[in-house]
Amino acid sequence: MNLIRKMSVHTVAGVAAASLFLLATAGYARAAERLTKLADNVYAYVDTHGATPHNSFGANTGVIIGNDGIAVVDTLISAKEADRFIRDIRSISDKPIRYVINTHSHLDHTFGNSEFARLGAVIVSHENCRKNMLANGEANLKKAGAYGLTEKEMEGTRLSYPSLTFSDRMEIGLGGQTIQLIYPGPSHTDGSIMVYLPDKRILFAGDILFTDYHPNIASADLDSWLTVLDRVAALDAEKIVPGHGPLSANKDLADMKGYITLFDKKAKELAAASSDPQYIASELKKALPARKELEFLITANIMQRYLKKQGSKK
């Protein structure tokens, strides 16, 4: 309001300057959504600020370009989000998109699959990721509203399942670029994989790593996850793209181990004394290191893991 009032008494030059300012701001906002270059021919969405269901909960993705075409890592939460991703890919390269690699089955990483399948991409994942999608995908799509997504946002979204799976390791040759797919054991899910570019020492960790964002640990194998994080660290990658959060390094893997260990210990103690998720969440928040996004997951993790399963071993 103030700006408009001020502009009305300004000279034409002043208005022009103000318009330029607005244009520059708009350009900046758009640029923040764009793909970040990690190395020649390797790009990613990293650290989407203000993670909400409307921007795929800030899920990161990857774009790997070889002489023979493109492989993408994850596809966001809906057909519309995938279309945004594809537009951004097309601003970098017009090579054919040959592969989609799903790091795991969760909706914010796989519900954009069909837009890439339409372009002829082969969808690759761990065998358990495909199994989980076949078992839960349709039900999750039907209840997208419960995750905070509107019908309009989900318009055109349908499931496309991985057609090529592996159990331990797989290698994709993309023409001058080798992509290693590695299953390090159960962690965030029982089908979570890592995508590694050995020549560039760039790792896409999927949701095995959340940096600065609260993680979803609801259906995880926590003991195995801690071992997996050691295995990820042993790769000694130079750049790690987490499933959610900013570009990361080995230090963030150690922080993730600390977070999981502390969360599990505290949540067990608190759940033994109370069954009120809000109370447990507020106590946990005091104990946990501060993380800027996805705070609602603290309560969700407590409800799904520590209260629902009360009396069971885990």
List contacts with Zn ion (CB under 5 A). Answer: 106, 207
Q: CB nearer to Zn ion: give 59 or 89.
A: 59
Nearest approach, Cβ of 29 to Zn ion (angstroms)? 27
Backbone angles phi, psi at 188, to 5 degrees: -55, -40
Q: CB–CB of 119/165 below 8 Å? A: no
Q: CB nearer to Zn ion: give 116 or 210.
A: 210
226 three-class SS: helix
Nearest approach, Cβ of 276 to Zn ion (angstroms)? 26
Q: CB nearer to Zn ion: give 217 or 233.
A: 217
Nearest Cα to 115, choosing from 72, 56, 67, 62? Answer: 72
Nearest approach, Cβ of 275 to Zn ion (angstroms)? 26
Residues 6 or more apart from 235 whose CB is under 8 A from it? 194, 196, 203
Question: What are the structure tokens assigned to 308, written together?
Answer: 């629902």
Q: CB nearer to Zn ion: give 66 or 191.
A: 191
Nearest Cα to 70, choosing from 112, 118, 116, 130? Answer: 116
Q: CB nearer to Zn ion: give 106 or 305.
A: 106
Q: CB nearer to Zn ion: give 174 or 183.
A: 183
Nearest approach, Cβ of 27 to Zn ion (angstroms)? 32
The H-or-E segment that residue 63 falls in is strand 61-66
Q: CB nearer to Zn ion: give 177 or 248.
A: 248
Q: Which amino acid is at 49?
A: H
Residue with tokens 């210990």: 265
Nearest approach, Cβ of 140 to Zn ion (angstroms)? 12
Nearest approach, Cβ of 104 to Zn ion (angstroms)? 6
User: What single string gives the DSSP state of each residue in 202-232?
Assistant: EEEEEEEEESSB----TT--HHHHHHHHHHH
Question: What are the structure tokens assigned to 169, written together?
Answer: 């390791």
Rounded alpha-carbon distances, angstroms, from residue 62 to 19, 116, 244, 259, 270:
34, 14, 12, 25, 38
Q: Which amino acid is at 314?
A: K
Nearest approach, Cβ of 106 to Zn ion (angstroms)? 4
